[in-house]
Amino acid sequence: MMAADIDRQRTISRAGTMEGIGLHTGEKVRVNFKPAEVDTGVVFIRTDLADEPRVPALVENVSNMERGTSLRCDDVEVRTIEHLLSAINGLGIDNLEIELDAGEVLVADGSALDFFKLLQSLKVVEQKAPRRYLEVTEPIFYCDGEVSLAVLPADTLTITYTISFNHPYLQSQFYSYSQASDDYEKHVAPARTFVFEEDVEKLRQAGLIKGGSLENAVVITQQGIMNENLRLPNEFVVHKISDLLGDLMLLGQPLKGRVVAVKSGHRSHIGLIGELRKYQQMKYIRQAPTAEPIYDVERLMEILPHRYPFLMVDRITHLEPNKLVVGIKNVTINEPQFTGHFPGKPIMPGVLIAEAMAQCGGILLLSATENPQDNIVYFMSIDDVRFRRPVVPGDCLVLVTRALRLRSRIAHVRGEAYVDGELAAEGYFKAMLVPRNKAG
C-alpha cells in the first residue's frame, strides 16, 4: 500500500538495529528503532547521555542546515537526519522511537535505501488513530534569490524538483515524484548524496565529512564522477527529492500538496516548512471561534484544578497530544479583574493572558496522560513573554500552545494568543507534571 493511500497512523511491529558511522563525525553509531504509540511522532533518543534525552523531529528543533539537517534540544544534538527521515516518509510511518548512542545518524551508503529496507523488514503496521494531514487549499511560497519553492493544492504529495549548477558535468536536472503512484524504493531511495571534488578539501578543513568516502557519496569531477557508475539516470536531482521528503517529516504531519522546488536545499526546505507551519496554525486560529469543542468547560474542570475566576480557558477546539492544542477564552466585561484594572478603559491584564496560555500548555501535557485528572501541572518558568496588542472585553482570545521539548515529566512549550488573527501575546513556558497525590 502506498503512503498516500493510508488513512491511519503507522508504526513498526517490532524493534530493529543498524550500525555504521556518521558522515560528518566519522564516529561509530548504533541505531535502535522501536515502535511508538499513536501521536508520538518521530523522536530521537540519545541513549549515550544521562537521562536519555528525547529530541522530537520537529522544525522548531532544527539547529543546523549546512550539508545536512540537524536537530538540537537544549544541549542535545542529533545530526544528519534527512536520509533516515526520507525512508520513514517513504514508508508512511508516523510514530517511531529512534535510539542513538552517538550524536549523528549513520550515513549507510549515502542514500535512504538501507534505512528503507530495514524498516520495511520490521513490518509497518497500522494503528487505531487516523492520520492528520495538512491539506493545502491555497498556494504557499518561499523564495530566496534564485531559490524558490511553492506548495500548490493537490490530493496527494507530489514533488517536482529542478537543480541547476554552473559545472561542466552537472548543470541542470529535473524530476517529478508522486507518493501515490511512484515506487519510492525503486525511484527515490537509491539516490546517494553527492559532492563536487573541488569542495571536498574545504569540507574536511571545516571538520566535516570525516566519515565520507566513495562508498557513501558520489564525487563529481570536471569530467564525470569518481564512482564506478550512477544508480539512476537523474540520481542527483532525485537525491534532492529524497532530502526534501526527509525534511518534510519535520512538519510533524503528512502533507497533501504539490511541491515545486527550484535550486533548493536544506535551508530553503526548512524555510518552506516554516511557511507551512504558519499556514497550518492560521487555519486553526481562523476556525477556532466557531469550531465544535473537543473539551467543554465541564471537561476542563475535570482536568484542571482551576476554578472561577482563575479558569482562563473556556473550551478546546483542536488537540494533538504531545504536539499542539488550541483553546478559546472569551473576554467579557463581567470578569472581576476589570473592576480595578484600567477603570474606564478595561484592558485584560497581561499576567492573565500569560496564565491563559500556560493553562493551555497544562491541557497539552495532561491530555497525553492515561488519567489526566490524577496529575497536576506546575509551571517552573515563564520566559520571553511579549504583549503585542491590548485585549479588551468583547475579544475572543485564541490560544495556541505547541510542545517544543518533552523530557520525562518536564516539558517546554511555546504559547501564542491571537485576536482576530492578529498576535496579541507570546511566550515560552517550562512545566512539570506531578501526581496529584504528591502535589502540595
Catalytic residue numbers, as ranges: 266, 341
Is residue 263 within 8 A of residue 164, CB to CB? The reply is yes
The helix (H) or strand (E) run that includes residue 384 is: strand 375-387
C-alpha cell at 379: 509551571
Name the CA dihedral angle for 243, 246, 250, 252, rounded to a multiple of 10 degrees.
150
The helix (H) or strand (E) run that includes residue 239 is: helix 235-248
Name the CA dihedral angle for 186, 8, 38, 253, rounded to a multiple of 10 degrees.
60
CA distance 21 to 212: 9
Contacts of 65 (CB under 8 A, 6+ apart): 265, 266, 267, 269, 270
Contacts of 344 (CB under 8 A, 6+ apart): none
Handedness of CA 216, 220, 223, 224 (dihedral sign): positive
